[in-house]
Amino acid sequence: MNKLDICIIEDEEILRISLKDDLKDAGYSVDDFENPLQALDVVKKKTYDVIISDIRLPVLSGLELLPKLRELSPNSFVIIMTAYGSVETAVEAMKKGAYDYITKPFDKEEMLLLLNRVKELKSLRIENKEYQNYFEDKYNFDAFIGESDYVKELKETLKIISETNSTVLIIGETGTGKELIANLIHYNSPRKNKPLIKVSCGILSKEVIESELFGHEKGAFTGADKLRLGRFEKADQGTIYLDDIDDVPLDIQVKLLRVLQEQEIERVGSSEPIKIDVRVIASTKADLNELSKSGKFREDLYYRLNILPVYLKPLRERKEDIVPLFNHFLHQYSNGKQYEVDEAVYRILENYNWPGNVRELKNIAERLSILCRDCKITAAKLPRELSFPSGDIYLDSDKNKPFTEIVEELEIKLIKNALVSAGYNKAKAAELLNLPPSTLKSKIEKYGL
């Protein structure tokens, strides 16, 4: 961004016109005013990036003018011009919201250097705003896809939780979306403009987890050649997300309990407590209550974490969300293409058990978006484990039965599976089984199906 809209308020005509010409020559758009009241009337209607005002003005002083400018144009950078003997007044103006001051007399280069700093800061503001808008759009509550009553109720619960600072414990199987829930809570909370620091406790070894979480002092151990801030310090004023907290060693759990109770940490190699302000969101794939009863997880830490529990159902327990999720992921990977999906595909997806939960469904959608070049997704193009999951074809036959009878039982189960998956369309069932339709028809008659 090279252009700035600038307003100059200065009653000394020669300085005002000279400064205006210099800034216009540098490529800036400039309006100038002798009277501060006239300037205020224009600022009501027009937004300036920068307002350059003298500290001594007729009718209103720069200090009296400043709060009015801040009220009318809060995003404008106000630069105060002051004589050498009035520097203290200019400092007072900065305390009241001015961006900076410049001492008269000044040359053109000095002012241009100051405006370059303003350009950089304004550009940074825009980037930060875009960054913030990106996360607000990405992590609004509609990001949790589903049409079931469970999902609707969960979203309402998350809205309430997000408004608080209380500790959250997310409980769910692998692939159910625990990290997404942590993102939704943080980016819809009063802390959304502060850091969200994520820690995967399951991948940190016992030797490094304490240093990772709480930091260490220089010389605390072999290899600690400098001070290091831990994840909790980096998350100060924001949120820390502790994924797989059930994998945290017992001795570290004691220190986590202190953080939650006292809101303070101690770096490794130091006994000096450091106050922090961090919201904790933890997640677990295990039953912490059962782990605490068996001594594998501290009971007091479990109760301290379990203030606001969020239970994520596995996908197999909310089957009405499978099709909306699949269509959402398919669109996500479509690159603008429109896919034609057979109804049999949806039935197969709904009948599958989804041991990998939403993550597995997302992977299937991505795979199909790549492999289905004709944009037609049929049951035959689905991975065979979806149409014929191994758990569905195990036999409960007597071990003493003849082999031919066992094979017949297996055939019957496969044919039934195919018929259900194909919505009892025999042609599609034959396609799934990779059989000629006539062969399938004869087998159906043979087995009285």
What is the full per-residue pLDDT of the chain (449 aa) written as tens digits? 458 999 999 999 999 999 999 999 999 999 999 999 999 999 999 999 999 999 889 888 888 999 999 999 998 999 999 886 677 887 888 888 899 999 888 999 999 999 999 998 888 877 777 776 676 667 888 889 999 999 999 999 999 999 999 999 999 999 999 999 999 999 999 999 899 999 999 898 877 899 999 998 888 887 777 888 899 999 999 999 999 999 999 999 999 999 999 999 999 888 888 999 999 999 999 999 999 999 999 999 999 999 999 999 999 999 999 999 999 999 999 888 999 999 889 988 998 889 999 999 999 999 999 988 899 998 888 887 886 665 444 445 455 678 777 778 788 888 887 887 777 788 888 887 888 888 888 888 888 88
Q: Is residue 379 part of a domain?
A: yes
Q: 182 and 237 share a domain?
A: yes
Q: 175 and 280 share a domain?
A: yes
Q: 153 and 299 share a domain?
A: yes
Q: Is residue 347 part of a domain?
A: yes
Q: 107 and 201 share a domain?
A: no
| CATH of residue 429 | 1.10.10
* Residue where a domain terminates, one of 267, 295, 311: 311
* Residue where a domain terminates, one of 132, 160, 187: 132
Q: 351 and 411 share a domain?
A: no
| CATH of residue 45 | 3.40.50.2300
Contact 273, 215 (CB under 8 A): no
Q: 418 and 369 share a domain?
A: no
Could you tell me the end-to-end alpha-carbon distance of the chain, in angstroms, rounded to an integer? 72
Q: Is residue 333 part of a domain?
A: yes
Q: 113 and 168 share a domain?
A: no
Q: 298 and 371 share a domain?
A: no
Expressed as residue numbers, the domain containing 108 is: 5-132
Q: 128 and 148 share a domain?
A: no
Q: 291 and 170 share a domain?
A: yes
Q: In sequence order, which residues have a C-beta less than 8 Å from that of residue 363 and are 6 or more positions away?
A: 356
User: What is the token pair recorded at 105?
Assistant: 């007399």
AA identity, residue 176: T
Q: Which of 108, 105, 115, 110 is nearest to 50 (CA)?
A: 115
Q: In sequence order, which residues have a C-beta less than 8 Å from that of residue 355 and are 6 or more positions away?
A: none
Q: Is the peptide bond before 105 cis (omega within 30 degrees of 0)?
A: yes
Q: What is the DSSP string of 127-166?
A: HHHHHHHHHHHHTSGGGS---SHHHHHHHHHHHHHHTS--
Q: Is residue 189 part of a domain?
A: yes
> Which contiguous run of DSSP H or E holds residue 436?
none
| CATH of residue 359 | 1.10.8.60
Counting the structural domains of the chain, the total is 4
pTM: predicted TM-score of the whole model, two decimal places: 0.66
Contact 403, 411 (CB under 8 A): no
Between CA 70 and CA 337 the distance in angstroms is: 49
Q: Is residue 137 part of a domain?
A: no
Between CA 8 and CA 30 the distance in angstroms is: 7
* Residue where a domain terminates, one of 249, 283, 311: 311
Q: Is residue 138 part of a domain?
A: no
Q: 177 and 277 share a domain?
A: yes
| CATH of residue 240 | 3.40.50.300
Q: 275 and 382 share a domain?
A: no
Q: Is residue 252 part of a domain?
A: yes
